[in-house]
Structure 1
Amino acid sequence: MWSWHRQVKDSVSQKTIGLMRMQFWKTAIEEIYRDEPPNQPVSIELWRAAKKHQMTKRWLLRIITEREKDLDDRAYRNLQELETYAENTYSSLLYLLLECLGVKDVHADHAASHIGKAHGIVTCLRATPYHSSRRKVYLPVDICILHSASQEDIIRGSREQNIRDVVYDIASQAHVHLQHVVLEDYLQRVRKADFDIFHPSLQKRNPLLPIQLYLRSWKKTY
C-alpha cells in the first residue's frame, strides 16, 4: 500500500482520479477495522497484519490523508510544512513498523519521529532532479525566496551558489533531526562510562552507529 500511495501522484493525470483512489483506501481501512476487508489481496494482507499486530488505525489513516493533500501538486510553503508531511507519512510508517515488532516505548517513538522527518526531507531533496525534469519543483518556497532561487533556476538544473544554499538549509534541517538520535546514543555511552566525560570510550567515534540507529529504532533501548 505504501509504495502504491507514493506512485499515485505521478501515475494519475487528474487530481479527481487520485482522490477517488485515496477514498477507496480510506473506506478500505474502515472496513478492515470492522473485520470486513475488501476482497482485494493488499487489503486482506493488511487486515491480517493489523489484526495480528494490533496496528493503530490512526497511523494508517494519517498516511492516506497526508498523501491525499499532497495531490495538490504544489511546492511546500515552508520547511515546517515539509516536516509535517514527513511526520505524517514516513514517521507514521515507522510507528506502524514498531507496532509490528511489538515495541511500545516513548523513546523509540521519539527516535522514529526524528528519523521519519529526516527521511522525508532527504527524499524531497533526492527527488528534485527527477521532478525538475518534469518541470515541477517541491522545495520549500520560503527557503527558495530567502536565497533568491526561482523555480526556473531549479527546473533548468542550475548549480549556482544560491541553489546550493537552498539545498544546504534543507539538508541541515534533516541533519538536526538525525542529531537528536545521535545525541541519545552519546548520552547512553556517557551513562555506561559512569559519567566519566574523559573515559577513553567517549573519545572516539562509534563505528557501529548507523547499524545501531537502525536496530535501536525497533528496540526498547532509548
Structure 2
Amino acid sequence: MIIYRKRDYEGFLCSLLLPAESRTSAFALRAFNVELAQIKDSITQKTIGLMRMQFWRKAVEDMYCDNPPHQPVAIELWKAIKRHNLTKRWLLKIIDEREKNLDDRAYRNMEELETYAENTHSALLYLTLEMLDTGIRDIHADHAASHIGKAQGIVTCLRATLYHSKRQKVFLPMDICILHGVSQEDFIRANQEKNVRDVIYNIASQAHIHLEHARSFSKNVPVKAFPAFLYTVALEDYLYKIQKVDFNVFHPSLHKKSTLLPLYLYIRSWKKKY
C-alpha cells in the first residue's frame, strides 16, 4: 500500500475522506489500479505485459470464486469484493483497457482518449460508488462519474506529457496536434510555441467541459455519493495551474506537489460539494 500512496497520492488523499467503512476497500481498489498502471512503464517487451495482465484477469476471476492468489493487493481487493459485492465487469474492463494501452502509440483522437478514460478512471468511480452506503446505484451519480473519469483521464494524459517526452514518446490525441500543425517532435523537444500551447489548451478545455457536465448533475446526485467525486478538487487545481502558465505543459510549477490540496479537499468534503 506504500507504493500506492506514492504513485497515486491524490487518490490516496481522496480515499482518506471516504466513510470509515469504505476506506480500506477504496485503498485496495486504488492499489489494484496502480498495479495495472505501472505494468506499462516496467516492461521492455509487450509479451511480459500481456502475461501480467493475464495474471490479474485470472486473479479477479479467482476472487469471485473465493480463491484469491497469495498477493497482498489481490487479497485486500477480494475482501472489498466480498464486503461490497463489487461488479466484476468493471474490474475486468479496467484490465482489458490497460492491456490495450500497452501499445506504445498516441491516441488517434480525443474520442479514443475519452474511451480509455471511461473504461479505467470512470470504472474506478463506479466501483467506488458501490462501496458507499451499501452501494449507490443512481443514474445521475453514474453520469457524473462518467464525466469526472473522462476529465481525470485527459488531465492524467496532460500531466504525463513531460515524463513521456523525456522518453521520446507522445500520447496526446493526434487529431488535435494535426489541427494546430504540431508534430510529436515538438513535444519531444519541449517546444513552447503558441501552436503547441494551443494543442494543450484544446485538450485541457475538454477536461474542463467534462467537469462542468459532472457538476450540472449535482442537484440530482445523492449527497452520499459526493465523497466518491472529491478527485474533482485535484483536477480543478491542475487546470487552474496550467491556465496560469498559459498552457505551457512543461512548466516546472505543474510538476510540484500541491501542499494546499489536503486543505482544499477537506473544505470541499465539509461543504459536501464536488
TM-score by length of 1: 0.84
The CA distance in 2 between the partners of 1:132 and 1:184, in whole Å, is: 37
Shift of 1:88: 0.3
Shift of 1:161: 0.8
Which residue number in structure 2 is paired with residue 14 of structure 1? 45
Residue-by-residue CA offset, 1:176-211 (whole Å, 9 max, x unaligned): 1011123334799xxxxxxxxxxxxxxxxxx99x82
Alignment pair present for 1:41 and 2:41:
no
Picking from 171, 191, 199, the partner of 1:158 is 191
SS of residue in 2 equivalent to 1:6:
helix
Residue-by-residue CA offset, 1:57-83 (whole Å, 9 max, x unaligned): 001000000000000011000000000
Residue-by-residue CA offset, 1:72-98 (whole Å, 9 max, x unaligned): 011000000000000000000011111
Picking from 204, 208, 211, the partner of 1:171 is 204
Structure 1 runs of 4+ off > 4 angstroms? 185-188, 212-217
Shift of 1:40: 2.0
Which segment is superposed worse, 116-125 or 29-38?
29-38
Preserved contact between residue 94 and residue 116 of structure 1 (Cα < 8 Å) = yes
Q: Which runs of 5+ in 1 are unaligned?
A: 189-206, 218-222
The CA distance in 2 between the partners of 1:151 and 1:213, in whole Å, is: 43
Which residue number in structure 2 is paired with residue 54 of structure 1? 85
Alignment of 1:102-181 (within 5 A): 102-181=135-214
Preserved contact between residue 140 and residue 217 of structure 2 (Cα < 8 Å) = no
Q: How many residues align structurally?
A: 198
TM-score by length of 2: 0.68
Aligned CA RMSD, in angstroms, stands at 2.2
Q: Which runs of 5+ in 2 are unaligned?
A: 1-31, 222-263
The structure having more radius of gyration, on CA atoms, is 1
Alignment pair present for 1:211 and 2:268:
yes
Task: Sort the Cα spacing of 1:215 and 1:56 in 2 relative to 1 into closer, same or farther, 3 A.
Answer: farther
Preserved contact between residue 31 and residue 38 of structure 1 (Cα < 8 Å) = yes
Which residue number in structure 1 is paired with residue 109 of structure 2? 78
